[in-house]
Amino acid sequence: MSVWRPLVGQDAAVEVLSRAVAGQGMSHAWLFTGPPGSGRSNVAVAFAAALQCSEGGCGECPSCRTTLAGSHADVSVMRTEKLSLGVDDIRGLVRASALAPVGERWQIMIIEDADRLTDHSGNALLKAIEEPTPRTVWLLCAPTVEDVLVTIRSRCRQVTLATPTTAMVAEFLIAGGAEPSVAAYAARASQGHIGRAKALAHDEETRSRRREVVQMASRLRSLGDCMTAAASFVDATGEEADAITGAQDARDKAELDAAYGVVERGRRPREYAPALAALEKSNKLRAKRRRLDMIDRGLMDLVSVYRDAIALAFNPQAGLVNEELRPEVAEIAAAASPEVNVRRIDLIFAAREQMLEFNVPPALALEAMMVGLWEAGHRPRGEVERGLGEPA
Ligand SMILES: [Zn+2]
């Protein structure tokens, strides 16, 4: 299977990239931008595989397979769990980028979070991008072009990824073996996020966790309900995050043990303990970031319910993201005006900002948010629209 096949809805980008692989419009620095879930890093990796492959990305040869698996000797991937990319991280990558490739083709450096470059680390990178070694290619990824330092982005060829349509996602899931009805549901509920769509299509637990979150919107009937909802929101999203990180942590530990020749009950080399401590520290950061990512996703699921309610208020036949919850959505639409539901969406975004930007503990931010969502439907209308914060 060609390396481009799994890139759902990215035909325009694939067209540009496969031309570059064939020698038309190749550049030494690329910037891939697109919303979360559009698959920025997957596109970058597929492009890297196509560049290393003598067939332009067959997906089958050792070059393609090792690149896709993350073990190609001439493809380095920099990803971080930290909030910014430090100058030391970048210097190491810049040094490696100057080496001639082991193979015959390219030395490829992928930076997954180019939006996390600081002025300092950006400067360290800038020189490498300005005066590239002939066989070196930089592939940078970020949510939007504006997230990347202007000095860096102005030297990159930019590729903007699209959000795939519901129909494209459903088709992709069906091709992967999903039942058509499940595929349709997963495509709608994922709102264009491919990884999420796959999880929803193939994992009943992911579906039930999502159901739990979106149903909260119709269950906030007392202060007690709000507290319960906040707690189960933290639990549901935490479980999902831990399911993913748990498997990764075990893999990392096995790799570390193998690298240090550690066997059960065997002797540990002196360097092992600090390496293990460093791994555990970075895994902790990763777990924290993944939990926040999952909370963020849960919040967007909740937003989709209120957006559905607004759509229904204007058109009873409107297609809904949460089609399976139509009766509940109708109830929310009947009980609160579109203005109230807009205000609720604002409250969700405010909670999100508190957690992601200001490090407010999720449990606290979510409790306040749930109470706000409930109150919004119970205060006199004028008061809600003016956005007064005093509880009734
Ligand atoms: Zn190949």
pTM: predicted TM-score of the whole model, two decimal places = 0.76
Taking the centre of ligand 1 as the mean of its atom positions, its distance from the CA of residue 132, in whole angstroms, is: 25
Residue-wise pLDDT for 376-385, tens only, equals 987 654 444 4
Ligand 1 midpoint to CA 175 (Å): 22
Structure confidence at residue 249 (pLDDT): 85
The 10s digit of each residue's pLDDT in 310-335 is: 999 999 999 999 999 999 999 999 99
Determine contact, residues 18/4, Cβ cutoff 8 Å.
yes
CA 199 to centroid of ligand 1, rounded, Å = 27
> Cα(44) to centroid of ligand 1, in Å?
15
At 207, list the tokens: 């579906």
User: 52 CA distance to ligand 1 centroid (A)?
Assistant: 7
Percent of the chain with pLDDT over 70: 95
**Interval between CA 57 and ligand 1 midpoint (Å):** 5
Residue range 206-235: mean pLDDT, rounded:
92
Ligand 1 center to 18 CA (angstroms): 13
Q: Identify the pLDDT of residue 380.
A: 53
* Residue 53 CA to ligand 1 centre (angstroms): 4
Q: From ligand 1's centre to the CA of 297, what distance in Å?
A: 35
* Ligand 1 centre distance from Cα of residue 105 (Å): 12
Each residue of 114-140: b (16+ CB within 10 Å) or e? bbbbeeebbebbbebbeebeebbbbbb
Confidence of residue 392 (pLDDT cuts 50, 70, 90): very low
Q: What separation in Å is there between the alpha carbon of 124 and the centre of ligand 1?
A: 33
> What's the average model confidence in pLDDT over 45-63?
96
Q: What value does the mean pLDDT take over residues 188-203?
A: 91
The helix-helix angle for 194-202 and 166-175 (nearest 10°) equals 50
Q: What is the arithmetic mean of pLDDT over 104-112?
A: 95
What is the predicted pLDDT for the residue at 385? 46
Q: Is the pLDDT of residue 369 over 90?
A: yes
For residues 197-222, give the mean pLDDT. Answer: 91
The CA 274 to ligand 1 mean position distance, Å, reads: 39
Mean pLDDT of the chain: 90
Distance, CA 16 to ligand 1 centroid (Å)?
18
pLDDT of 382? 47
**pLDDT number for residue 272:** 87
Stretch 70-92: mean pLDDT, rounded? 88
pLDDT-derived band at 284 (thresholds 50, 70, 90) equals: confident
Please give the distance, rounded to the nearest whole angstrom, from the Cα atom of residue 267 to the centre of ligand 1. 41
Please say whether the beta carbons of 129 and 138 come within 8 A: yes
What is the rounded CA–CA span in Å between residue 200 and residue 185?
A: 8
pLDDT reading at 386 higher than 70: no
Q: Nearest CA to 344 among 311, 316, 381, 307?
A: 307
102 C-alpha to ligand 1 centroid (Å): 17
Residue 75 CA to ligand 1 center (angstroms) comes to 14
Whether pLDDT at 391 is above 70 = no
Q: Compute the distance from residue 176 Cα to the ligand 1 centre, in Å.
A: 21
Q: DSSP per residue over 141-197, as a string?
A: EESSGGGS-HHHHTTSEEEEPPPPPHHHHHHHHHHTT--HHHHHHHHHHHTT-HHHH
Q: What is the pLDDT of residue 264?
A: 67
